[in-house]
């Protein structure tokens, strides 16, 4: 461990030294750097979202796993305002499969956004196309490049779907959204896997979400709350609730998210994996029915000076069944804890920053899961690298 920390320190030190030469410079686009021209239009803005890291990982019972470089996130994004009432957004993951064949919406999963917005009135707008589900919570709302480790609730969530969002700003700081999306990207079989014969596809696989975003006291307090209902099959639905609460005081930014999902058909797959594990012959081999998940996520940022940010993040999550699945009885099966801490260095006014972080996860299984062969374990990871939303045009 000490040797790896020394290696990581040697690797990251040149980045910090080099970055100090550019402190508080402006952040022109690459085109402006090359041509010397100043972009005067907001019709087209192009960004390259990058999160690149060097990682060392340990797994309990196995010891040191590996060290590797990784491009965790690489997404290209374009957005802009065509005029006063039409705007658009497109974002695509460059390190994902681009095959859209078989997709319900005829789009590959690599596309996050492909949508156009219309400002019908100063207070009311419509956003149509592929987009992010309007779930609440601040972890969910962050740019993916800024995440070092998602909670299980968000990590195993399909959240880029096609549909329409109706947005009403009833005050300058209060927003209400009613969103209707496809409930899945692909076919019923591809999404849910093996199911009992009595469970059939629905003719209306839609997701309905009511979302409220608000800020108070000059953005010192912010809230992102939502309630969602997803039709999964003719007789099974998913209910999802999220309440995100953020506070900003001087150099401190902190949020706490509370999220709960009650799924007629296990959409995340965590409970499906747990109950299909069996040291004997009593194996189920179908998607779990009646799964529920609870997540509590808290993060605190402390900007000790404009260029340096310290952060800690904690996650508490449970996974279980709210009804019996054949020989699998209802109840809690797994509790997981996550803990993350690190430092970020911002060399410029832009969002470019270098980081060094520690990520730990602990997984505790109940006696129900242990009877199926599961054992408690934990993982640790050290990660260092850079994050940059590079303005290209």
pLDDT in tens, 210-232: 999 999 998 899 999 999 999 99
Q: Structurally, how many domains does the chain consist of? A: 1
Q: Residue 282: what pLDDT?
A: 65
- CATH at 155: 2.40.160.10
Contact 146, 387 (CB under 8 A): yes
**More confident site: 259 or 27:** 259
The pLDDT of residue 209? 98
pLDDT band for position 32 (cuts 50, 70, 90): low
pLDDT number for residue 309: 96
- Weakest mean pLDDT among 6-20, 106-120, 185-199, 241-255: 6-20
pLDDT at 24: 35
Structure tokens at 159: 């959240």
What's the domain range around 315?
A: 2-391
| pLDDT at residue 22, as a whole number | 38
pLDDT at residue 249 tops 60: yes
Reported pTM: 0.86
User: What's the whole-number average pLDDT of the chain?
Assistant: 88
pLDDT digits (tens, 9 = 90+) for 50-91: 999 999 998 877 777 789 999 999 999 999 999 999 999 999
Least confident of 60-69, 90-99, 280-289: 280-289
Q: Give percent above pLDDT 90 in the chain.
A: 72
Arithmetic mean of pLDDT, 271-282:
80
The pLDDT of residue 289 is 94
Residue 12 CB: number of other CB atoms within 10 A? 18
Beta strands in the chain (DSSP E): 45-59, 63-81, 86-93, 111-119, 124-132, 160-171, 174-182, 206-216, 221-231, 237-249, 252-265, 289-305, 308-321, 331-345, 353-365, 377-391
- The predicted-structure confidence for 334-363, as pLDDT tens digits, reads as follows 999 999 999 999 998 778 999 999 999 999
Q: What is the largest CA-CA distance in the chain?
A: 70
> What is residue 326's predicted lDDT score, i.e. its pLDDT?
80
Q: Residue 293: which pLDDT band, with cuts at 50, 70 and 90? A: very high
Is the predicted pLDDT of residue 374 greater than 60, yes or no? yes
3-state secondary structure of 216: strand
Report percent pLDDT > 70 for the chain.
Answer: 88
Q: What is the mean pLDDT of residues 118-145?
A: 95
Backbone angles phi, psi at 141, to 5 degrees: -85, -15
Lowest mean pLDDT among 33-47, 98-112, 168-182: 33-47
| pLDDT, position 99 | 77
Residue with tokens 């006696």: 367
Residues 192-206: what's their mean pLDDT? 91
- Read off the pLDDT of residues 134-167 as tens digits, 9 standing for 90 and up: 999 999 999 999 999 999 999 999 899 999 999 9
Give the contacts of 1 (CB within 8 A, at least 6 positions apart).
none
Per-position b or e across 163-177, b if 16+ CB within 10 A of its CB: bebebebeeeeebeb
What is the mean predicted confidence (pLDDT) over 7-15? 39
Res 5: pLDDT: 41
């Amino acid at each position: 461990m000490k040797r790896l920390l020394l290696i990581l320190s040697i690797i990251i030190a040149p980045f910090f030294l080099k970055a100090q030469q550019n402190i508080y410079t402006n952040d022109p686009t690459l085109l402006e750097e090359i041509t010397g021209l100043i972009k005067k239009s907001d019709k087209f803005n192009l960004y390259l979202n990058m999160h690149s890291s060097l990682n060392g990982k340990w797994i309990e019972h196995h010891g040191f796993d590996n060290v590797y470089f990784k491009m965790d996130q690489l997404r290209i994004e374009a957005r802009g305002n065509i005029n006063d009432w039409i705007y658009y957004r497109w974002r695509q993951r460059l390190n994902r499969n681009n095959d859209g064949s078989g997709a319900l919406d005829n789009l590959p999963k690599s596309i996050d956004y492909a949508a156009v917005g219309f400002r019908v009135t100063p207070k009311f707008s419509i956003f149509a196309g592929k987009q992010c589900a309007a779930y609440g919570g601040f972890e969910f709302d962050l740019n993916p490049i800024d995440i070092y480790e998602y909670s299980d609730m968000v990590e195993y969530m399909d959240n880029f779907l096609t549909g329409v969002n109706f947005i009403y700003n009833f005050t300058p700081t209060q927003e209400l959204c009613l969103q209707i999306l496809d409930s899945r990207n692909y076919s019923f079989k591809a999404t849910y896997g093996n199911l009992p014969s009595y469970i059939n596809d629905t003719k209306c696989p839609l997701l309905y979400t009511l979302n409220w975003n608000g800020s108070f006291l000059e953005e010192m307090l912010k809230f992102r709350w939502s309630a969602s209902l997803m039709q999964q099959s003719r007789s099974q639905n998913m209910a999802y609730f999220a309440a995100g609460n953020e506070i900003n005081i001087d150099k401190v930014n902190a949020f706490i998210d509370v999220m709960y999902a009650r799924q007629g058909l296990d959409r995340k797959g965590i409970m499906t994996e747990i109950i299909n594990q069996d040291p004997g012959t009593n194996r189920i081999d179908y998607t779990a029915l009646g799964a529920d998940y609870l997540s509590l996520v808290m993060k605190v940022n402390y900007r000790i000076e404009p260029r340096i940010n310290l952060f800690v993040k904690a996650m508490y999550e449970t996974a279980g069944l709210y009804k019996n699945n054949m020989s699998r009885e209802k109840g809690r099966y797994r509790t997981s804890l996550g803990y993350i801490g690190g430092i970020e260095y911002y060399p410029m006014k832009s969002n470019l920053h270098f980081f060094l972080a520690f990520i730990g996860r602990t997984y505790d299984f109940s006696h129900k899961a242990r009877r199926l062969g599961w054992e408690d374990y934990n993982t640790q990871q050290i990660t260092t690298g850079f994050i940059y939303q590079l303005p290209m045009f």
